[in-house]
Structure 1
Amino acid sequence: MVRERPIVLTPEGKAALEQELEHLRQHKLPLLLERLQQLSNEGDISDNSEYEDTKEELVLTEARIREIEHILRRAQMITRAGPQDEVRLGSRVTVIDEEGSVETWVIVSPEEANAAQGRISIESPVGAALLGKRVGTTVTVRAPGGEMRFTIQRIE
């Protein structure tokens, strides 16, 4: 039997997934079903690209609902007990790069990673390099775009 890895979420990540799930179930899914019904009532759907596109969007939405349900069923919450002097899952880390740019990221599981929101996965090159490090440590990250160096300024 294949053993699945545990899914660890921050409280914010769990709340965001629950909110997305509710939106998909309560709003998007009913709208897609209603639109499909309207299109099928309008006549021949055999060569209707809008009908096919809507049907595909419905399939993708249902798949995302199942994915979120699966994640939430298996999710374990991060506990932030103990000292926060090293980077770990759920840490908010402020770093400075070689050019002096300061960035702050939250280290999260892949299921709640969103680079645009400053939430990076522990499985990403940067997230993996930061794990277990302390303030003042400089890490070298080998990423597809090249090598980067970051110095940890703060861990929360």
Structure 2
Amino acid sequence: MSGGPEPISAEGLRALREELAQLRAERGEVAATLRGDDPVGDPADAADELQRASDVTRLDRRIAELEGRLREAEVAGAPSTEVIGVGSTVTVRFSDGEEETVEISEVAEEREMTLVTYDSPLGKALLGRHAGETVTYETPGGAASAVVLAVGSGG
């Protein structure tokens, strides 16, 4: 990505908020099982306690990442409708003549619109481009190209 605040599509925003809610709930459940200052019983109990504490730390790190990304997206505002970036919807025509609308995303998940992650070969080729430009990228079958027909903001 660009290194500055990156926009995010409405769908990406929804996915991050959903993951954040799930992680917060999971963290609450795991944290509730920690004993705190109570003495731990046998070594197996101690190992379980250490694992749960480690899980809370891991969850805290991921929660902080997501909260930071959501703050960044808020600062960045809506995706550009002129230059392709994360969150943009892009209509492309592939060399075989097929046209498809894709969304440049940080996260890959199943949904109706095709998602292209920003770090995939096609995603990398599209970032920073404008309507009318031709991009080339590598596929498992070799080099491919596509013409950018339109750029819009995700949603």
Q: TM-score range by the shorter chain?
A: 0.5 to 0.7
Tell me if structure 2 keeps the 8 A contact 1:10–1:77: no
Aligned pair count reads 141
5+ residue gaps, structure 2, are none
Deviation, 1:127, is 1.2
Query: 2:108 aligned to 111, 115, 132, which one?
Result: 115
Distance 1:17 1:49 in 2: 32
Give the aligned partner of residue 12 of structure 1.
11
TM-score (norm 1): 0.63
Q: Does 1:77 align with 2:73?
A: no
Unaligned runs of 5+ in 1: none
* Cα drift, residue 28 of structure 1: 0.6
Aligned positions of 1:7-156 closer than 5 A = 7-25=6-24, 27-37=25-35, 43-45=41-43, 48-75=46-73, 76-79=76-79, 88-89=84-85, 90-93=87-90, 95=92, 104-108=101-105, 113-117=106-110, 118-131=114-127, 132-134=129-131, 139-142=135-138, 147-152=142-147, 155=150
Please report how far the alpha carbon of residue 5 of structure 1 lies from its aligned counterpart in structure 2 after TM superposition.
1.7
Query: Percent identity at matched positions?
Result: 29
Taking structure 2 as the reference length, what is the TM-score of the superposition? 0.63
Cα RMSD between the aligned structures? 3.7
Aligned with 1:151: secondary structure? Answer: strand
Once the two structures are TM-superposed, the CA of residue 30 in structure 1 deviates from its matched residue by 1.1
Instruction: Label 1:49 to 1:95 Cα distance change in 2 as closer, same or farther (>3 A).
Output: farther
In structure 1, how many angstroms separate the alpha carbons of the residues matched to 2:21 and 2:14?
11
